[in-house]
Amino acid sequence: MPEVTVPTILHDGVGRTAEGRDWIARLPDLVGRAARRWDLRLGEPFADGSASWTAPAERRDGTAAVLKVSFPHDEARHEADALRAWHGHGVPLLLADDPDDWALLLERVTPGAPLSASTSPAQDRLLVGAHVLRDLLDAPGAALVAVPSMTDVCSRWATVLEERADRAGQRVGRLVDPGLVREAADLLVRLPGEVPGAVVHGDLNPGNVLHGSGERWVAIDPKPRRGDPAYDLWPLVEQVDDPFARPDPVATLRTRVPLVADAVGLDPQRVAGWGVARGVESALWWWSVSGDGAALRDGLARSASWARLLG
């Protein structure tokens, strides 16, 4: 078996669980099989990614590629299906895959700098991310691919959301606004079924948007599901030039949400609704994992700002 370097982020991510530690122990075998199967020469792994091992690779014919071996989990289960359907529209090309080993061989994107590292004006960065989403939605092969339903996923989230809010309310009391939680739960149930479904990326944050050659930008690490395209814009708006670090976050959101919505051809109200729904869900999920009351307070305050855009 080849010697495989395991980045610290993997130990700190999936390595926190027994299943993750077992998978990390099997990585040399998984990586070795992929290297033999696809005749790869591998470089040192990338240092990011808490649930997958990725490294630059070169095929026998000199083709530059990336090998990705994922820890088996539901969010990664349909990644190859979606990449195959998108076929290079807004994503790297899928060159090969092995579903049994959860291994993907991907086109290497160069220079590959993430949107999160860009120093361009915020408006330009937001439009880059929005145009990547537009590319995904325009991909002709995505219409028939089978991926999980956003309706089912969000319905489960809504149930768990209220359970977590009850527990958080008992622990941190007034930090949790029951009205905001009810609004988020209602949006999680209502929003997915109100528009025709498309295959969305699922985690379109600026760290997952890479610069390719020329004007090409692509999204990596999708967590695909079928549902409302407006779902995908929340992390982009929140994480590009943090609007909540501005003197008037709500005014900043009122400018930026229509900007990205119009670029994709979406209703800004739906983008704002997902900002509330996903923001509350994310804040309560992180509290359930970390017990961090300060982070919960910050996340819910952000969600309350999003809620002021509705109506």
Of the residues 203, 241, 292, 298, which is catalytic? 203
**What pLDDT score was predicted for residue 197?**
82
Contact 282, 161 (CB under 8 A): no
Model confidence at 172, pLDDT cuts 50, 70, 90, reads confident
What percent of the chain shows pLDDT beyond 90? Answer: 91
pLDDT value at residue 83:
98
Residue range 8-107 forms a domain whose CATH class is: alpha beta
Answer whether 8-107 and 115-307 agree in fold.
no
Q: How far is CA 295 from CA 57, 188, 299, 311, in A?
A: 38, 21, 6, 27
**pLDDT at residue 1 greater than cutoff 70:** no
What's the pLDDT tens digit per position in 184-236? 999 999 999 877 789 999 999 999 999 999 999 999 999 999 999 999 999 99
- The four Cα atoms 153, 179, 289, 209 give a dihedral, to 10 degrees, of 60
Does the domain at 115-307 match CATH 3.90.1200.10? Answer given as: yes
Cα dihedral 71, 112, 93, 274 in deg (nearest 10): 70
Span 21-52, pLDDT tens digits: 999 999 999 999 999 999 999 999 999 889 99
CA contacts within 13 A on the Cβ side of 96 = 15
Q: What are the tokens at 209?
A: 């948007």
- For the cut 90, the answer to whether the pLDDT of residue 257 exceeds it is yes
Q: What CA dihedral angle connects 176, 291, 236 and 81, to 10 degrees?
A: -120
152 belongs to the catalytic site: no
Region for residue 39 given its phi and psi (left: phi exceeds 0; alpha: psi -120 to 50; beta: otherwise): left
What mean pLDDT comes out for the span 271-275? 99
pLDDT at 209: 98
Q: What is the pLDDT of residue 190?
A: 96
Confidence (pLDDT) at 137: 96
User: What average pLDDT does the chain have?
Assistant: 95
Which of 167-181, 230-244, 284-298 has the highest mean predicted lDDT (pLDDT)? Answer: 230-244
What is the structure's pLDDT at 141?
87
pLDDT of residue 143: 83
- Of all residues in the chain, what percent carry a pLDDT higher than 70? 99
Domains of the chain, by residue range, sit at 8-107, 115-307
- State phi, psi for 217 to the nearest 5 degrees: -130, 145
Give the DSSP letter of residue 243: G
In a 3-state reduction of DSSP, which class is residue 44?
A: coil
Give the C-alpha separation, 132 to 24, whole Å: 32
- The CA-atom distances, in angstroms, between 4 and each of 31, 123, 194 are 8, 41, 47
Mean pLDDT of 237-257: 98
Whole-angstrom distance, CA of residue 241 vs CA of residue 61: 41
